[in-house]
Structure 1
Amino acid sequence: MTTYLPALMSSIGQESFDRQIDRMFDEAVRSFGMARTAWAPACNAWEDDHGFYVQVALPGWEAKDVSIEVENRVLTVKGERKDEETPGRTVHVWEVTGDQFVRSFRLPTFIDHNKASASHKNGLLTITFPKLEEAKPRRIAIAAE
């Protein structure tokens, strides 16, 4: 009897094969309602002369399902939503998951968290913290003698 598993593994690679096995196991466990894989959205954080920014990738999420808090210089972004359950639907692939998440970031001391703002556009949540005036770069004129 000939086995095709080694040929299959060499053609798709061991790492890809392992990911597929992990995904199948996760889906099997999820179908029994036993557990869910932890999910956290991808994030970016940067600063410029005017502020500090945190961007969270939330495709398919609505702003009403997300909360933003700042406490003790820690920004916490939380989300929770319900999966759409459709009777009679047979799921073949379920990769766009994420029924809940929490991401936290330590904020720098040079920002004014009381003047923070947030926008949600094209699946990206962007939180903007303006820099304190004393933290902004400034030019110093040189006096001519």
Structure 2
Amino acid sequence: MTEARTVANIPSSTSETSAFANARIDWKETPEAHVFKANLLGLKKEEVKVEVEEGGVLHISGKRSKEQEEKNNKWHRVERSSGKFIRRFRLPENAKTDQVKASIENGVLTVTVPKEEVKKPEVKSIEISG
């Protein structure tokens, strides 16, 4: 299995830190593809962006907006984070970056990056004379 590295992300504020921490992503490799799954409950697909930059780096980012505050409301507890998050993953060389697919269902983002088929070297028998 090819070793992949993640690029470090450093959030710039406390609210970004909590939002960033909630953007946990699983990366699984199957024989056919690399599959990324992220729990993004409460985010609409319009609030999430999936991109592949030149050089094979997958970007998953989004923004969870803060709930509108009204003067007469009193908050007792705020545990849901708001702010921006971004995660970057360097894809292996066998990733087909032009065929990436993404979908959100029940608050789970799934990004599928197909892999190139590994071609087995062709073996040619050589007849021995003599």
Q: Structure 1 length as normaliser, TM-score?
A: 0.65
2:93 is equivalent to residue 93 of structure 1: no
2:37 is equivalent to residue 58 of structure 1: no
Instruction: Supply the distance in 2 between the matched residues of 1:110 and 1:43 (Cα, whole angstroms).
Output: 21
Higher relative contact order (CA 8 A, sep 6+): 2
Question: Where does the alignment leave 5 or more consecutive residues of structure 1 unmatched?
Answer: 1-33, 141-145
Given the alignment, which residue of 83, 87, 93 partners 1:103?
87
Given the alignment, which residue of 38, 43, 52 partners 1:70?
52
Deviations 1:56-88 (A, max 9, x none): 110111110011111121111111242121312
Deviations 1:88-128 (A, max 9, x none): 22111111113211111111111101001001011110100
* Structure index of larger Rg: 1
Map 1:133-144; keep pairs closer than 5 Å. 133-134=117-118
Deviations 1:16-36 (A, max 9, x none): xxxxxxxxxxxxxxxxxx952
Map 1:1-145; keep pairs closer than 5 Å. 36=15, 38=17, 39-40=19-20, 41-71=23-53, 72-87=55-70, 88-134=72-118
Question: Where does the alignment leave 5 or more consecutive residues of structure 2 unmatched?
Answer: 1-12, 123-130
Inter-CA distance 37–52: structure 2 relative to 1 (3 Å threshold): closer
Flag as ranges the 4+ runs of structure 1 deviating above 2 A. Answer: 34-37
Identity %: 29
RMSD of aligned Cα (Å) = 2.1
Aligned residues: 104
> Any conservation in 1 of the 2:16–2:84 contact (CA below 8 Å)?
no
Instruction: Supply the distance in 1 between the matched residues of 2:26 and 2:82 (Cα, whole angstroms).
Output: 18
Higher helix share: 1
